[in-house]
Structure 1
Amino acid sequence: MTGLVIIGASYAGVQAALTARDAGYSQPITIVCDEEWLPYQWPPLSKDFLLDTRLRAGVDLPCTGASRRPSFDLKSLVTAGDKAGA
């Protein structure tokens, strides 16, 4: 992998990628996580939300736009790091 590699697709991981883009970082950004799905924000739990038939609409993390969006390496577990070439 080249560019910036962020381990963990939590809110903090996605925010780190967006902050790097906002600061002018233009190289590839990859977020590595062991989940099977893209990250999303948990909505406030309420009866209204539970009764709503929408599928996670509006709860995706704010990383839209081709120029800002990092790539995601899903279902991957990081067991060691190698800084050779860093």
Structure 2
Amino acid sequence: MMMYLVFIVLIFFGTYLWVNTAKRFNRTWNRFNTIIYQNQKLSKVAGSICLIIAFICLKSIHGLWSSVIITLNCLIIALMVVIIFTPLFQDKK
């Protein structure tokens, strides 16, 4: 059960690092997102590492092909969630 939680957190965090390119965020997210925005290549690498670790966590539970299918489905869901909810944290300027 804990492996699934780690998998879900890593999928969403990795997707967030890949997708996030916004400059203006509210104060609670400002420092974190400024670091990501200034280091886009580094955030892509970190996002990729998170996604690879998430896949390895899932592969230790399931077989290879079922892990690939589950990971792709979760990536699509995470991508939709990140794209929908990221503008909610932006400043309205």
Query: Could you say whether these structures have the same fold, taking a TM-score greater than 0.5 normalized by the shorter chain as the test?
Result: no
TM-score (norm 1): 0.27
TM-score (norm 2): 0.26
- Higher helix fraction (1 or 2): 2
**Which structure exhibits the higher relative contact order, with contacts defined as CA atoms closer than 8 Å and separated by 6 or more residues?**
2
